[in-house]
Amino acid sequence: MSAVISFDKFNLMQDTAAQERIRAARAKLGKRAVLLCHHYQRADVYQHADLTGDSLKLSRLASQTDSEFIVFCGVHFMAEVADIMSAPTQTAILPDLAAGCSMADMANLAKVERCWRELGEVLGDAEAQVTPVTYINSAADLKAFCGERGGIVCTSSNAGTIAKWAFAQREKILFFPDQHLGRWTGHNLGIAMDEMAVWDPDLEFGGLTPEQIRKAKILLWKGHCSVHQMFQRTHIERWREENPGGIVISHPECSFDVCVNSDHVGSTEYIVKTIKEAPANTRWLVGTELNLVDRLANEVKPEGKRVQFMAPTVCMCSTMQRIDPQHLAWTLENLVEGKVVNAIRVPEHEARLAKLALERMLAVS
């Protein structure tokens, strides 16, 4: 039996050669492999996609295929969701294991469990008073944590619906790992700012007093997306001065200042849909990842629509950029040779509990 093909021979390969190898390997694999690309994926990889979209949509679509291999060009937590939601006969693969998510890394199981214990010390019984809600941009063990404790998963598009469900279960929400999505969601539900407290996991009791914890309706984990953190209200104000009548649309992972000063706020799918369905010759300022914005700008340009990236500096999802043509070619050629590299397998117990939290979300939303 042949050995796994080493990545070394691909590492210095020219992009054009890697592209040819990708096409050749895909032709040999046929429908045995389905290639998923997230909206933020770099263009030289995105062009090969069978399915495109946000992370949850892609996992659901892939699980409905008959493909043996789900090659996820995204980041680690996305491949985990694909593994959890797919059939036992399917294998989820991440072409580069270094493709992580800095936001997801800001909340780990040890810190969340410590938070839960400390909430219990203040409130008496955390599980009786707090519904844990994790953003889908989190590790599988945190989804399992929520599944085991009557909690749930949310996405950027259904966070409001999920928060209403969570409040119907208990009086408080622990929302992690993205404070900005949690704050915007709470704001849209009419929750006052002083009833949304930021929990700093590096400080005892989150850096909060017992009174602040008791008063809070939503406890916001101190986490954020490094890409969406770059956008500022001043970017919007400057653009509006130069583009009267222009429209601003942002992702809810942006800061509250950016969201509240935008005309539209929504998920990547919402942003794409809104701009594509907008009247011709409209002007847009977009607060989300650069690869998506550039791709969208080119797609709607023939209609006279002008789409501009919000930040004056280049800002893209650097970890997702790690999945390049060389890693994709290496992954696919190994599959052709009968070798699976970088398979993502969530432990069975963890997957069962994480799936429970995901299924609650799908049932509610």
The answer, as to whether pTM is greater than 0.75, is yes
Are 67 and 131 members of one domain? Answer: no
Residues whose CB falls within 8 Å of the CB of residue 196, separated by 6 or more in sequence, listed in order: 182, 183, 186, 216, 217, 218, 219, 220
Q: What is the pLDDT of residue 320?
A: 61
Structural domain includes residue 360: no
Instruction: Report how far residue 310's alpha carbon sits from residue 289's, in angstroms, rounded to the nearest whole number.
Output: 9
Domain count, the chain: 3
State how far the Cα of 216 lies from the Cα of 302, in Å rounded to an integer.
49
Q: How far apart are CA 135 and CA 117, in angstroms?
A: 21
Does residue 219 share a domain with residue 273? no
Extract the tokens encoding 146: 């929520």
Is there a domain that residue 329 lies in?
Answer: yes
Characterize the bridge pairing of strands 247-250 and 283-287.
parallel
Is the domain of 232 the same as that of 213? no
- Kindly state whether residue 22 falls inside one of the protein's structural domains: yes
Beta strands in the chain (DSSP E): 33-38, 51-53, 69-73, 91-93, 130-135, 152-154, 172-176, 196-199, 218-221, 247-250, 264-265, 283-287, 306-309, 343-344
Whether residue 133 sits in one domain with residue 85: no
pLDDT in tens, the chain (365 residues): 568 999 998 988 999 999 999 999 999 999 999 999 988 888 899 999 999 877 778 778 888 888 999 999 988 888 999 999 999 999 999 999 988 778 888 899 999 999 999 999 999 999 999 999 999 999 999 999 999 999 999 999 999 999 999 999 999 999 999 999 999 999 999 999 999 999 999 999 999 999 999 999 999 999 998 888 899 999 999 999 999 999 999 999 999 999 999 999 999 999 999 999 999 999 999 999 888 999 999 999 999 999 999 988 766 565 667 889 999 999 999 999 999 999 999 999 999 999 999 999 999 98
pLDDT score of 62: 80
Nearest to 322 by CA among 102, 53, 16, 106: 102
**Is the domain of 211 the same as that of 246?**
no
Q: Does residue 203 form part of some domain?
A: yes
Q: Contact, 242 vs 227, CB < 8 A?
A: no
Same domain, 291 and 257: yes
The β-bridge relationship of strands 33-38 and 172-176 is unpaired
Query: Which one-letter DSSP state was computed for residue 49?
Result: -
Q: DSSP labels for 201-253?
A: TTSGGGG--HHHHHH-SEEEES---TTGGG--HHHHHHHHHHSTT-EEEE-TT
Task: Give the pLDDT confidence score for residue 104 in this predicted structure.
Answer: 82
pLDDT at res. 361: 94
CATH number at residue 37: 3.40.50.10800
**78 with 114, same domain?**
no
The answer to whether residues 236 and 285 touch, using CB atoms and an 8 Å cutoff, is yes
Classify residue 325: in a domain, yes or no. yes
Residue 45 forms part of a structural domain: yes
Q: Does 221 map to a domain? A: yes
State the sign of the Cα–Cα–Cα–Cα dihedral 269, 271, 272, 275. positive
Tell whether 142 and 202 lie within a shared domain.
yes
In whole angstroms, give the CA distance from residue 246 to residue 283: 5
> Domain end: 179, 197, 225, which one?
225
Shared-domain flag, residues 164 and 108? yes
Tokens of 64: 């409905």
Is the same domain home to 144 and 221?
yes
Q: Which domain holds residue 108?
A: 104-225
* 17 part of a folded domain: yes
Instruction: Mark whether 211 and 163 lie in a shared domain.
Output: yes
Regarding whether 93 and 141 lie in a shared domain, the answer is no
